[in-house]
Structure 1
Amino acid sequence: MFILDVNLRLAHFIQPHLNDISLAFVATCLVVYGDKVNGILKKMVSSWFFVARVSAFILMCTFGYGLLALWSQPLVYWGITHVDLIYRPTVIIFCFCFLGVLAERKRHL
């Protein structure tokens, strides 16, 4: 009973911070898998001339990642809000730990 009470208190405490938490999930995924996105872009533009390749990477790094974060954050937020309030803190902590393991496997830590 005590653990459920603490979990519910934690769920109510993190409720106003769910936007930031979902943005942190998205940003972490972009950092961990950004090299894959850059590799795909590199393959796509490898036949272009130099100025076009540089422009494509500049656009991807300045606008592409921002748009990916902007468009995917509401989806992650929606997913978090559809987890039952009792399980939400556990799911969030598990997801942060899982992202940490993924980052460690890719040697980002």
Structure 2
Amino acid sequence: MLDDILISFGSWIRGHLFYVSMMISATVLVIWGGDINRIVRNQVQTYHFVVRTTVFVLLCAFGYGLLLNWLAPFLHFQLAQVSSRYLGVLILGIMIGLGMIAERKRC
């Protein structure tokens, strides 16, 4: 009975795995994006305003975009390898874990 529910839930999630992967990737970037920005800001704080602005435009527009475009398909591929029996539970665990991390960081 429980096994059938887990498999059904996992199969349903599998149909939306691309969107789930994108959601997880975006959440990770939101949680740690501020830390990345702070590190980059500390590295370029002594440079001219134009250089600092260019670095942040490149980081935000291209860096995060490229990271999201790389991370989501990678995560999708990894999650696709998981059995349907465990996929739903794994996704719920990831979402709860990311929520707890976000709460601690006060995102």
Scaled to the shorter chain, the TM-score interval is over 0.9
Identify the residue that residue 30 of structure 1 maps to in structure 2: 29
How many residue pairs end up in the alignment? 107
RMSD across aligned C-alpha pairs, in angstroms?
Answer: 1.0
What is the CA–CA distance in structure 1 between the aligned matches of 2:2 and 2:15, rounded to whole Å?
Answer: 21
What is the CA–CA distance in structure 2 between the aligned matches of 1:52 and 1:89, rounded to whole Å?
Answer: 45
Give CA deviations for 1:79-100 in whole Å, capped at 9, x if unaligned. 2112222111000000000000
Identity %: 35
Residues 3 and 85 in structure 2, CA contact (< 8 A), matched pair in contact too: yes
SS at match of 1:47: coil
SS at match of 2:106: coil
Identify the residue that residue 41 of structure 2 maps to in structure 1: 42
Give CA deviations for 1:9-42 in whole Å, capped at 9, x if unaligned. 1111111210000110100000000011101211
Alignment of 1:1-109 (within 5 A): 2-108=1-107
Which consecutive residues of structure 1, in runs of 5 or more, have no partner in the other structure? none
Where does structure 1 differ by over 4 angstroms across 4 or more consecutive aligned residues?
none
Which consecutive residues of structure 2, in runs of 5 or more, have no partner in the other structure? none
Higher-RCO chain (CA-CA 8 Å, sequence separation at least 6) = 2
Q: Structure 2 counterpart of 1:46, which letter?
A: Q
What is the CA–CA distance in structure 2 between the aligned matches of 1:101 and 1:9, rounded to whole Å?
Answer: 27
Q: TM-score by structure 2 length?
A: 0.94
